[in-house]
Structure 1
Amino acid sequence: DSIIYAKRIQSAILPPMKVVKEYLKESFILYKPKDVVAGDFYWMEQKNGKVLFAAADCTGHGVPGAMVSVVCNNALNRSVREHGLTNPGEILDRTREIVVKEFKKSEEDVKD
């Protein structure tokens, strides 16, 4: 079933609780999507001795929202890993640029 496969993809992008606990020992995560999959996700990265954490809500519900969350998660990763950013404002700005560029690229592909 495609929705179950989408759930597996979305689950794969979420940091495992074991990793979260490694850096944020006193933390917990309550993640309860309304549907099987959703546009909400959390993200974590460790860079230069800093722990970066985000809770995000992407537009959309169900499978479309989940797919947007995958694109946004990838953009967050690229902002930190490829561009070396650690300042939250700069990460969000670059993430937005990457997401907009990705959606424009797919728009152009559809026109061809």
Structure 2
Amino acid sequence: MNPTQPVPPEPTADTVLADVTGMLRTVLAEYGDDDLVIGMSTTFNCDLGLESIDLVTLAGLLEERYGKRVNLAAFLAGMEFDEIIDLTVGRLVEYVLWSLKTTRGA
């Protein structure tokens, strides 16, 4: 008889926000800006001052945490330049939740 593994709980916006905030703090620590307030309406460009190389680092951290189920490069590739400039943490959290839900069990 094989014991069944417990199914991990569905991630929530709060848990994903906490994960993403931790990842952003890791990225921002390189600049000494790891004490900024980060919330759903925080923008990557204006509020955090992230550059494209920082998004590459963030993409790697997302993949470490969630695997290939969350692909930041593919998410950004579907956006216009202005959308990327105005990208908020909340929109990324929504994308992560959507990706995890649509690939659950895959």
TM-score w.r.t. length of structure 1: 0.30
Greater strand fraction, Structure 1 or Structure 2: 1
The normalised TM-score by structure 2 is 0.31
